[in-house]
């Protein structure tokens, strides 16, 4: 039997490894998705004997998995795990890793849960020790750059050691169950495709709102802001899944090629239209949903001045036959009134109504978090006897993924990384981001940031616990629309 690939995790003592990656690996082991003999190697600069590292892992997994933690299952999982201390600045240390991989003969998946600043050192050392050869592959976390130029430089570094088909760039949103369901919703249901164009759809809104502020990650966040932290990756990916043409198949290349076409069709935002097409905001003191007082952004990041946006809204236009004239409104912010990720597809109103009472346009509401559900808002007769014209009311056809899973006994909400790790082990790249897709997204974002600078567009203040600055409403009202509430 062929030896399954070894999962090598750089940054094995970091926050992401503790909260997401090792718990995901534990669940994959618990449910039988890790093959017999599949090994896991944790790696960071600190020195640990294997047994000490396994014990260090135990509370991480116990805390994250909660009621699903089982001592016997952990013990069998821990048998898969070993540890190799590697300092990326010391290329000689990679000889230890080579030895752990049977003198480099074992197939490996290298997961870089590290700062991009050491990607180059890791890739050079893997190359030098013969560990970047096929079929070995590399998985990298965002951020892939701060702008297009830095993204290209990082991608060039990765390409020096691993071919594009062996480079897996993670956007954890693509591992979420409901995000994957967007493909099934669109392309497995005959009723939607004839309506999925400018002839039937009036506008699309994508919202990712958070109740937390930037505290705890101020240094990173103040350098990136909402547009780089959320729009460039998560929101752009949701936009592509909603707008792309039907792919020829579910293969990685077929799906990713259609997403690239969407990105290349985005109308550039320039200094001439940036004030009409975007809104920036930064939260100030206020109160959260529980009435607790909140600090302003400057206090959260311990700065005296910052023009970093914590809220951004964009009116994006896709210049192709399917979507010409349909605004895609994107908004994301911190310290908002509620935590949610939601996509709202608003259909065009009826060309003529035979009813005296107004018929509201139909809306498809796709909620990704906190509860995963899909609702179709339709018009229905109001119950009761009729005197004169038929009265109407709005009702929802509701498909709750969370309720369905509970009904069949699948109560555990999966960690998005479970699917992505499994796909990397199985060489399925369909949920990962390819280079030209990523660079096209940065090109669009760079145009906005450059236009902000040229027009001196500083963020507008908004109170914590509110849904962004009041000026955001002008973005939709220019087209006769309003934000979905």
Tell me how far apart the alpha carbons of residues 480 and 485 are, in angstroms, rounded to a whole number. Answer: 16
- Tell me the backbone φ, ψ of residue 147, rounded to 5 degrees: -160, -175
Looking from the CA of 144 toward its CB, the CA atoms found within 13 Å total 32
Tell me how far apart the alpha carbons of residues 121 and 402 are, in angstroms, rounded to a whole number. Answer: 43
Which residues have a Cβ under 8 Å from the Cβ of 66 and sit 6 or more positions away?
A: none
Which residues have a Cβ under 8 Å from the Cβ of 392 and sit 6 or more positions away?
A: 355, 357, 358, 359, 379, 380, 381, 382
Question: Sign of dihedral through CA atoms 450, 452, 456, 462?
Answer: negative
CB 202 within 8 A of CB 346: yes
Q: How far apart are the first and last CA of the chain?
A: 56
Which residues have a Cβ under 8 Å from the Cβ of 418 and sit 6 or more positions away?
A: 24, 27, 28, 175
Nearest to 430 by CA among 174, 240, 112: 174
Is 93 an active-site residue?
Answer: no
Tell me how far apart the alpha carbons of residues 288 and 310 are, in angstroms, rounded to a whole number. Answer: 15
At residue 287, the 3 state secondary structure works out as strand
The helix (run of H) or strand (run of E) holding residue 424 is helix 416-425
User: For 383, which DSSP code?
Assistant: S
Question: Sign of dihedral through CA atoms 35, 38, 43, 48?
Answer: positive
Q: How far is CA 143 from the centre of its chain?
A: 12
What's the CA angle centered on 215, arms 209 and 221, to 5 degrees? 70
Angle between helices 50-65 and 22-30 (to 10 degrees): 80
Tell me how far apart the alpha carbons of residues 8 and 472 are, in angstroms, rounded to a whole number. Answer: 45
Tell me how far apart the alpha carbons of residues 94 and 265 are, in angstroms, rounded to a whole number. Answer: 44
Nearest to 22 by CA among 58, 66, 52: 58
Active-site residue, from 234, 352, 473, 481: 234
Strand partners, 94: none
At residue 362, the 3 state secondary structure works out as coil
CB 302 within 8 A of CB 310: no
Tell me how far apart the alpha carbons of residues 44 and 86 are, in angstroms, rounded to a whole number. Answer: 5
Residue with tokens 């480099």: 104
Catalytic machinery residues: 234
């Amino acid at each position: 039997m062929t030896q399954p690939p070894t999962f090598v995790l750089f940054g094995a003592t970091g926050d992401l490894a503790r909260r997401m990656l090792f718990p995901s690996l534990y669940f994959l082991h618990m449910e039988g998705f890790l093959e017999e003999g599949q090994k896991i190697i944790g790696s960071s600069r600190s020195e640990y004997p294997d047994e000490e590292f396994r014990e260090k892992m135990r509370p991480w997994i116990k805390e994250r998995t909660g009621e699903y933690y089982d001592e016997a299952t952990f013990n069998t999982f821990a048998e898969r795990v070993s540890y190799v201390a590697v300092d990326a600045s010391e290329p000689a240390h990679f000889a230890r890793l080579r030895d752990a991989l049977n003198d480099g003969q074992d197939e490996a998946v290298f997961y870089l849960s590290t700062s991009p600043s050491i990607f180059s050192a890791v890739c050079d050392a893997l190359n030098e020790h013969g560990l970047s050869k096929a079929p070995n592959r590399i998985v990298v976390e965002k951020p892939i750059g701060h702008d297009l130029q830095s993204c290209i430089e990082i991608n060039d570094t990765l390409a020096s050691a691993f071919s594009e088909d062996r480079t897996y760039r993670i956007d954890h949103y693509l591992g979420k169950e409901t995000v994957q369901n967007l493909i099934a919703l669109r392309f497995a249901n005959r009723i939607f495709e004839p309506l999925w164009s400018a002839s039937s759809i009036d506008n699309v809104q994508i919202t990712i709102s958070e109740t937390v502020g930037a505290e705890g990650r101020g240094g990173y966040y103040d350098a990136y802001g909402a547009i780089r932290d959320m729009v460039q990756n998560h929101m752009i990916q949701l936009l592509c899944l909603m707008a792309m043409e039907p792919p020829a198949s579910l293969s990685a290349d077929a799906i990713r090629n259609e997403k690239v076409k969407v990105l290349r069709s985005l109308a550039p935002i320039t200094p001439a239209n940036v004030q009409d097409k975007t809104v920036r905001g930064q939260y100030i003191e206020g109160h959260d949903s529980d009435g607790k007082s909140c600090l302003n952004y400057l206090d959260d990041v311990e700065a005296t001045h910052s023009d970093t946006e914590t809220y951004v809204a964009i009116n994006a236009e896709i210049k192709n036959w399917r979507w010409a004239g349909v605004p895609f409104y994107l908004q994301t912010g911190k310290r908002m009134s509620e935590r949610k990720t939601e996509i709202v597809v608003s259909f065009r109103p009826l060309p003529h109504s035979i009813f005296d009472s107004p018929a509201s346009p139909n809306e498809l509401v796709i909620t990704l978090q906190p509860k995963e559900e899909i609702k179709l808002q339709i018009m229905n007769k109001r119950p009761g006897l009729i005197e004169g014209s038929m009265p109407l009311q709005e009702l929802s056809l509701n498909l709750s993924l969370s309720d369905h899973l509970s009904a069949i006994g699948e109560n555990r909400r999966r960690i998005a990384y479970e699917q992505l790790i499994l796909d990397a082990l199985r060489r399925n790249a369909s949920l990962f981001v390819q280079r030209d897709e990523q660079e096209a997204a940065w090109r669009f974002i760079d145009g906005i940031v450059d236009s902000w600078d040229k027009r001196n567009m500083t963020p507008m203040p908004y109170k914590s616990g509110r849904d962004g600055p009041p000026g955001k409403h002008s973005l939709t009202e220019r087209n006769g629309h309003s934000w979905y509430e």
